[in-house]
Amino acid sequence: LLRAVVLGPPGSGKGTVCERIARSFGLQHLSSGQFLRESLRDGGGDTGAAGRAASHLPATHRGPALPRRVPTGFPRTLGQAEALDKICELDLVINLNIPFETLKDRLSARWIHPASGRVYNMEFNPPHVHGIDDLTGEPLVQREDDRPEAVAARLRKYKDAAKPVIELYKSRGVLHSFSGTETNKIWPYVYALLSNKIPPVHSEEEN
């Protein structure tokens, strides 16, 4: 059993890296943000508000399914890390450390398919047809919280909340930080770290 999570600021590539981990190691990707967006889709509201209820998330993920999944974006606060401690102890925390300017650029070019959570980027991984999801043919949208005025506030909020979480896992010796501006350069290191612990089902290059 390997209990791993992926942490990082908005736009750091948690979703992108986690999709690759999921494919390479036969796991499922579980995004707390996507989970919150799905919960809110019919009721209206914003993910920030729903996030305040996110301390319920560990219970949702309790059970035998947990080791087969790689959560991203959780735990996001010290309170959530402590709640998670009551359920299991993490073996590995992957922390993505990406410069602020890079995050802003990436988020302004991000488009998503809301129903599936599939993520595109006009420069990095554009859809085959502009504005259209590759698999369903449905329209893509920009996330409300990717508007430039929202991004700066999100980054600030993340920094404050994440600092003690990062310190906690660092002090336990389970934190692995990866710094850079390109996911493709970070990915081989993440792959190498994980393939030491669990057998891959696909090679690194296949992602």
Q: What are phi and psi of 77, to 5 degrees?
A: -135, 165
Q: Does 48 bind ligand G5P (CB under 6 A)?
A: yes
Assess whether the previous peptide bond of 75 is cis (omega < 30° from 0). yes
Cα–Cα dist 95/178, whole Å: 6
Of 144, 200, 163, 158, the C-alpha closest to 10 is 158
Footprint of ligand G5P on 60-79 (CB under 6 A)? 73-74, 76
Applying CB under 6 A, which part among 61-69, 130-138, 169-177, 179-187 lies near ligand G5P?
179-187
Closest distance between ligand G5P and the C-beta of residue 37, in Å?
Answer: 7
Nearest to Mg ion of 9, 15 (CB atom): 15
Closest distance between ligand G5P and the C-beta of residue 78, in Å?
Answer: 11
183 binds, among Mg ion, ligand G5P, none (CB under 5 to 8 A by kind): ligand G5P
Closest distance between Mg ion and the C-beta of residue 14, in Å?
Answer: 5
Query: For the chain, where are the E strands, in sequence order?
Result: 4-7, 28-31, 69-72, 92-97, 110-113, 118-121, 175-179
Largest Cα–Cα distance in the chain?
A: 47
Residues that bind ligand G5P (CB under 6 A): 8, 10-16, 31-34, 36, 47-48, 51, 54, 73-74, 76, 80, 106, 110, 119, 121, 123-125, 145, 154, 182-184
